[in-house]
């Protein structure tokens, strides 16, 4: 690989996408930007494409094609639009791809990137949860190097000694506990989307912020860790660490616990992935140990944080239930953000769908996609049905 890395950024206008752009701009001479993508924000995408000197700008929603073309007229940046264009963009030769689309929408371009055999930095956790086996098998087949961007998994990746895997006793994922850590479930019934997306330590997109508030984010991360590191569920623990300074840990058989710590700033794990196996500077926050800081850790109560128990149950049941869980959650979070259901209903919907949705046989990636679509329809119908019957459990 030459000193200059060709990079593509999928989901460039999002929280992780913009932090990635920031790392690239901070190390301008180290990168040659190929592709930037977004779903619908034409102006933000065009601005980033110009600023980063990208060769291709791809917008997910086809109806924005003309607008994007107009804004980028005369820049020489190639413009395309639509789901197929996103997949095609993943075939543009690259050294490292940042997968930072949110949700299962990111699966097709992510899988295509993995099939190309380059380094693939994955922030987009939902496809790992629903199609972890398929993505890791595809990486093995193509030789792609999967680099975890999620701060917990990036921390584990930094201290996980593959050569000593047999001596690893457990992965310990840290969780801030989200904004409602100290509140009881019945105090959360009337939480609004605005309150739920205000995370105390991290600034993130709406979906992951809601997931952090319900602890679904940590639930998805337990599943994500299982697929990324091929470690069984009973060797993955969660501890609450409200300060988000230790980003996760690996415990070895001799009692050593190795961890990675730093300020809660996504530019650190992003830079680690973009430069891997080297390190590069960022303009992000640094953790100062010149002042007094304290750190707390306590076990995550699985009865209280029900999402976590659901994740362990899904892992026991296999990848199929993990995919069902993820799809139900995406629909429930969307319904909550649109104020169609209440905050506590998110987990109620997840629990209902896990219990009542049919079982799927998933062998191929197409099976995963079909399952995902069916569960979305099932979950949406359930939400509509309950709302029509205006059962009490749902907010009006
Ligand atoms: P975000 O909502 O801020 O950004 C999402 C990006 O995906 C945007 O560029 C958007 O245009 C694009 N996108 C959305 N829907 C799309 C679609 N249907 N087709 C194509 N593109 C689409 O989200 P985010 O917070 O940056 O998170 C991105 C992913 O990274 C998520 O899976 C999240 O769980 C994960 N992640 C985020 C953080 C964080 O700090 N934000 C940390 C760890 C992991
Ligand atoms: Mg995380």
- The pLDDT value recorded for residue 163 is 97
Cis amide bond preceding 277, omega within 30: yes
pLDDT of residue 395: 46
Report CA-CA distances (Å) from 169 to 12, 232, 248, 320.
37, 10, 14, 26
- Cβ(131)–Cβ(220) under 8 Å? no
> Probe ligand 1: pick from 9, 11, 224, max atoms within 8 Å of CB?
11
Helix axes 365-388, 107-116, angle to 10 degrees: 160
pLDDT score for 368: 98
Distance between Cα 343 and ligand 1 center (Å)? 21
Per-residue pLDDT tens over the stretch 167-201: 999 999 999 998 898 888 889 999 999 999 987 78
Q: Which ligand is nearest to the CA of 62?
A: 1
How many Cβ atoms are within 10 Å of 286's Cβ, its own excluded? 10
Q: Where are the domains of the chain?
A: 5-149, 150-264+275-312, 318-390
As for ligand 1, residues whose beta carbon falls within 6 Å of it are: 11-17, 38-39, 41, 60, 100-102, 105, 123-126, 150, 202, 204-205, 208, 266
pLDDT in tens, 84-129: 999 999 999 999 999 999 999 999 999 999 999 999 999 999 999 9
5-149 domain in CATH 3.30.70.920?
Answer: no
Which pLDDT score is estimated for 2? 58
Closest ligand to C-alpha of residue 208 is 1
Dump the DSSP string for 29-87: GGEEEEEEEESS-HHHHHHHHHHHT-SEEEESSGGGHHHHHHHTTTS--EEEESHHHHH
pLDDT at site 232:
98
Contact residues for 386 (Cβ-Cβ < 8 A; gap 6+): 393, 394
Please name which ligand lies nearest the alpha carbon of 130: 1
Q: Which of 123, 203, 247, 273 to mutate to test the pocket of ligand 1 (most atoms within 8 A of CB)?
A: 123
Handedness of CA 88, 94, 96, 98 (dihedral sign): negative
Identify the pLDDT of residue 391: 52
Domain covering 318-390: architecture: Orthogonal Bundle (1.10)
Residue stretches of the chain with pLDDT short of 70: 1-2, 390-396
Distance from the CA of 28 to the center of ligand 2, in angstroms?
27
pLDDT at 396: 42
Largest CA distance in the chain: 62
| pTM given for the model | 0.97
Taking the centre of ligand 1 as the mean of its atom positions, its distance from the CA of residue 80, in whole angstroms, is: 20
Structure tokens at 29: 């001479």
C-alpha distance from residue 103 to each of 100, 127, 205, 206, 394 (Å): 9, 7, 11, 11, 24
- Which residue lies with its CA nearest to atom 7 of ligand 1? 101
pLDDT digits (tens, 9 = 90+) for 278-296: 999 999 999 999 999 999 9
Find the helix packing angle between 125-142 and 216-229, rounded to 10°.
10
């Amino acid at each position: 690989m030459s000193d200059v890395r060709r990079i593509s950024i999928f989901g460039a206008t999002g929280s992780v996408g913009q932090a990635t752009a920031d790392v690239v701009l901070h190390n301008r001479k180290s990168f040659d930007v190929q592709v930037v993508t977004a779903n619908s924000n034409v102006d933000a995408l065009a601005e980033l494409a110009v600023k980063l000197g990208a060769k291709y700008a791809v917008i997910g929603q086809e109806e924005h094609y003309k607008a994007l073309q107009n804004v980028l007229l005369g820049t020489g940046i190639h413009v395309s639009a639509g789901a197929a264009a996103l997949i095609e963009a993943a075939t543009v030769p690259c050294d490292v791809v940042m997968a930072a689309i949110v949700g299962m929408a990111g699966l097709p371009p992510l899988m295509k990137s993995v099939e190309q055999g380059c380094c693939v930095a994955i922030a987009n956790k939902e496809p790992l949860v629903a199609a972890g086996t398929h993505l890791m098998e595809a990486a093995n087949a193509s030789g792609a190097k999967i680099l975890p961007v999620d701060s917990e998994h990036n921390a584990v990746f930094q201290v996980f000694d593959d050569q000593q895997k047999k001596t690893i006793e457990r992965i310990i994922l840290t969780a801030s506990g989200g904004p409602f850590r100290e509140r009881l479930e019945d105090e959360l019934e009337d939480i609004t989307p605005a309150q739920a997306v205000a995370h105390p330590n991290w600034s993130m997109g709406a979906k992951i912020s809601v997931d952090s508030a319900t602890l679904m984010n940590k639930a998805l991360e337990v599943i994500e860790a299982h697929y990324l590191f091929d470690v069984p569920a009973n060797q993955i623990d969660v501890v609450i660490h409200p300060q988000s300074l230790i980003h996760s840990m690996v415990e070895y058989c001799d009692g050593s616990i190795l961890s990675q710590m730093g300020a809660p700033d996504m530019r650190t794990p992003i830079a680690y992935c973009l430069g891997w196996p080297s390190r590069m500077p960022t303009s992000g926050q640094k953790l100062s140990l010149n002042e007094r800081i304290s750190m707390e850790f306590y076990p995550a109560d699985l009865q209280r944080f029900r999402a976590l128990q659901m994740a362990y149950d899904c892992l026991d049941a296999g990848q199929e239930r993990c995919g069902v869980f993820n799809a139900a959650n995406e629909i429930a979070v969307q319904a909550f953000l649109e104020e169609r259901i209440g905050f506590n209903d998110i987990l109620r919907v997840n629990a209902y769908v896990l219990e009542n949705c049919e079982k799927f046989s998933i062998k191929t990636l197409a099976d995963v996609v079909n399952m995902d679509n069916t569960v979305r329809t099932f979950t949406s119908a359930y939400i509509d049905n309950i709302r029509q019957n205006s059962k009490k459990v749902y907010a009006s």
